[in-house]
Structure 1
């Protein structure tokens, strides 16, 4: 334990050094001549004026951003004379626009109380970072490695996450916000936002991960603090699209480890659900990245996390995370089963074999000829993940459907015909994002056998959820609805296993 504490103290000291080295009032002031009783203060309001003289009519030198640190060198009436080390200029600011900082460890209770208040205020993120830097400067090592240090890191995680969300919204055309200026202040405190490249060529601004990493490994962090840190470290929207394919397994394994070993019983219901939903998604992505090797274990863990959800504690705010977890987890029902390369289906058999190129899988639906020799009715090769255990044969033996997953979180429904045809039904017609198209049952009909399909997708900013009834092809559904209950075919013939196990039937 002493070794661990020394390591954490050293890590926190490094973080303190980064924060203080970039703080205009605390670090740079030490390098310049200053009065014997120099003090520091934080800017309280965006747009506070730094003026050339202690008058409202004096020339404006520059507008200041909330959270910036200034050195206080004197007082003139209702004005404070300050020095801005970043801009290397002095001036005057109205006293009510600044928060003076008291020196010494005796200031810790007051600064900590101010940080607790500011961390809950949208728009005050840079001020929260300034207060945190002031606390770190004044705190002894044992304070930082105790419960108070964990609370400090928890506040840093919260304000960094909210600042990233505000800065991302401000980057949207037509949006105006002070978040960009506050992001610059955050960078000077040692917490620059992280631009992450996305698949469409754009970038997303994500929070600096260092406070969350420190909090996740803090010896005095409570389970709820560990959970918030783990959620901050595993945001799916902050995964870089430039990650090479061979590195995804390691990326998802690290994300899964960050979410592991947190005591669920000590978490409040909503936070427990959010952690479990993230586990479902991360473990499903890990299983996909390990396809072809050993995906059974993470797929089973994803299913186990799904079963631990508390439905009564889910809220409207959880709807996007619930949809993502459901779409990623849906094919894990088959991935968690032992892999099969050959299985009998009626009078035929479905055979999987390695293709001509690395990672390619060829599936063959075979039937015997009069001499008893197996002949290929259908043969198709793909680099997608073929979930052979999802295969379902139609009652008349003329069609076979199964789930095929070309991308992480995107699963298609393939329909093989005895006439040699292969039809592919994607989750939606949009550019692939998150989505699932799956078999929901066979329904007898006077015009022929009908196929019941459930589809759900979140792609291109749109959400699709449909339950469809198809005839002999996938060209156009004969009937569809946004819920299965209005469709008589679903009421009569929906597959029992689908109703009991599919997250799309939720």
Structure 2
């Protein structure tokens, strides 16, 4: 029907009444919301006579509640100016989508470029964020979502951690990348299309890897060299995050070479971030990206030289999908000192042993973005195994890594980073080897004399915990 309309009235006020007659006391036919369009068929007594194609009914609206436009090229400049204004006006997403749709209809095909789809995508994406942030039912918000849907804007519901999030499906942003927008527009499109919170958590590992490979290809379509430093930072952070996920996924499938390359890229992308140019709102994203990269960084770390005499840790296949850790001594190779199997991803390059041979550690990544430190330690009752998790809460985002041993081997130094209450919390701890309970804890490595003095050069040269 829209193709035959020559003149439309765009509703610019919420809860505008569609009357049965050109009188304020006439019965209300419907309640209109900003962004809706009506076909103009005449004018009577200060009212516009219109036809509502969505509800398939005629009626009358006050002239001040709408704006009238002819759907031809003469209206395009005026519509363009309003779209540019509304694109950056929070709360007016439905109205902006209505204006953008009208402009796409009125403009000559040669005038339709990526900037219009950038505006449509930005408005739809912001509407989805606005809807996801609301905790209670909002009549106006629900109506704006309905208006957006009437223009073909598709929002997808994602169930995650007991809450529902709405995400824009990104059709307009795909057009921006396909048509070749400005570097800034392409960045907005790529970041919106690859937003991690809009990835369905119910995907299988194979499906999740396919999505992450697609996300990586989308991000590669943006040239960081053409962006201001603070915007290039956002691109590097997202690339680092995606590559860290791929490093874990490839390694879990046994593709160690691909996993190593993905890990190297993630570390490199994180290193490209100019911290002096980080926008204030991106500091949290930087910390979280660093934790994700650190959780998978072992994929690209070469295996250490085989230590001398003493207990050593060997990895052997167990049940399908399992890896078994077998701690043995060369003096009694047939009798393991300790043994444990896991479905987690064991990083052989992370195996470290204390100088006295009384402790052996290894990093085990159980989930994407969650790596534990497993500590085999010799005590009076024999060899024990303790798993050090980033925190005692349910796994979300975090890692623990070995920072070294004290010279006498009685203390284990570890660094932890974990997402708690929406923030990354870092701690540098000195643990008693016998109990692996913290003896000293500091927020920075230099705040603990023992940690600063005995943390290993190997750890300091590779860690991402000190940024």
Deviation of 1:450 (Å): 1.7
Indicate the residue corresponding to 1:154 in structure 2: 118
**1:366 to 2:342 alignment:** no
- State how far apart, in whole Å, the 2-side matches of 1:103 and 1:217 are: 26
TM-superposed CA distance for 1:109, in Å, is 1.9
1:345·1:393 contact (CA, 8 Å) conserved in 2? no
> Match of 1:131, SS?
helix
Question: In the alignment, is residue 498 of structure 1 matched against residue 466 of structure 2?
Answer: no
Select which of 433, 436, 440 maps to 1:472: 433
Pairs aligned (count): 460
Q: 1:142 & 1:343 partners in 2: Cα distance?
A: 67
Aligned partner of 1:26 in structure 2 is 2
Residue equivalent to 2:67: 99
Instruction: Look up the match of 2:314.
Output: 351
User: 5 Å matches for 1:366-405?
Assistant: 366-369=328-331, 373=333, 375-405=335-365
Matched, 1:431 2:394: yes
Question: Which of the numbers 431, 434, 444 marks the counterpart of 1:483?
Answer: 444
Q: Mark the CA change 1:438 to 1:461 in structure 2 (over 3 Å): closer, same or farther.
A: same
SS in 2 for 1:331: helix
Aligned to 1:417: 377
Q: For residues 226-278 of structure 1, what are the alpha-carbon distances to aligned partners after superposition, in whole Å with 9 as ceiling and x for unaligned?
A: 21111111110011122122222211111111111422111011211111100
Give the corresponding residue for 1:169: 133
Q: 2:6·2:71 contact (CA, 8 Å) conserved in 1?
A: no
Do the aligned residues in 2 keep the contact of 1:423 with 1:473 (CA within 8 Å)?
no
2:276 to 312, 328, 343: 312
Residue 360 to residue 339, structure 1, CA distance change in 2 (3 Å): farther
Q: Match of 1:322?
A: 286
Counterparts of 1:8-27 in structure 2, within 5 Å, are 26=2
Q: Pick from 62, 65, 70: which aligns with 2:33?
A: 65
Q: How does 1:136-285 map to 2 (within 5 A)?
A: 136-144=104-112, 149-170=113-134, 172-173=135-136, 176=138, 178-198=140-160, 200-218=161-179, 220-285=180-245
Two-structure CA RMSD over aligned residues (Å): 2.3
**1:430-470 CA-partner distances (Å, limit 9, x unpaired):** 2111111112232357xx62222222222575653322221
**Structure 1 length as normaliser, TM-score?**
0.85
- 1:502–1:46: structure 2 CA closer, same or farther, 3 Å change rule? farther
**SS state of the match for residue 200, structure 2?**
coil
Structure 1 stretch displaced more, 305-314 or 460-469: 460-469
> Could you list the runs of 5+ residues in structure 1 that have no partner in the other structure?
1-24, 31-36
Question: Post-superposition shift, 1:201?
Answer: 5.0
- Per the alignment, residue 22 of structure 2 pairs with 54
Please say if residues 177 and 221 of structure 2, whose CA atoms lie closer than 8 Å, have aligned partners that are also in contact.
no
Out of 431, 440, 445, the residue aligned to residue 403 of structure 2 is 440
Contact 2:377–2:433 (CA under 8 A) maintained in structure 1: no
Is the CA contact (8 Å cut-off) linking 1:303 and 1:332 kept in structure 2?
Answer: no
Look up the SS of the partner of 2:2 in the other structure. Answer: coil
Q: Is the 8 A contact 1:40 1:70 kept in 2?
A: yes
Query: Cα distance, 1:190 vs. partner?
Result: 0.6
Mapped contact 2:375–2:385 kept (Cα < 8 A) = yes
Distance 1:87 1:473, change over 3 A: farther
Deviations 1:37-72 (A, max 9, x none): 852021112222223333444433332221111112
| Separation (CA, whole Å) in 1 of partners of 2:433 and 2:139 | 54
Residues 474-499 of structure 1, C-alpha deviation per residue, up to 9 Å, x if partnerless?
66312223333322222222233333
Which ranges of structure 2 fall in alignment gaps of 5 or more residues?
A: none
**Distance in 1 between residues matched to 2:60 and 2:435, nearest whole Å:** 72
**Equivalence for 1:108:** 76
C-alpha contact 1:365 1:377 (8 A) present in aligned 2? yes
Indicate conservation of the 8 Å contact 1:281/1:302, yes or no: yes
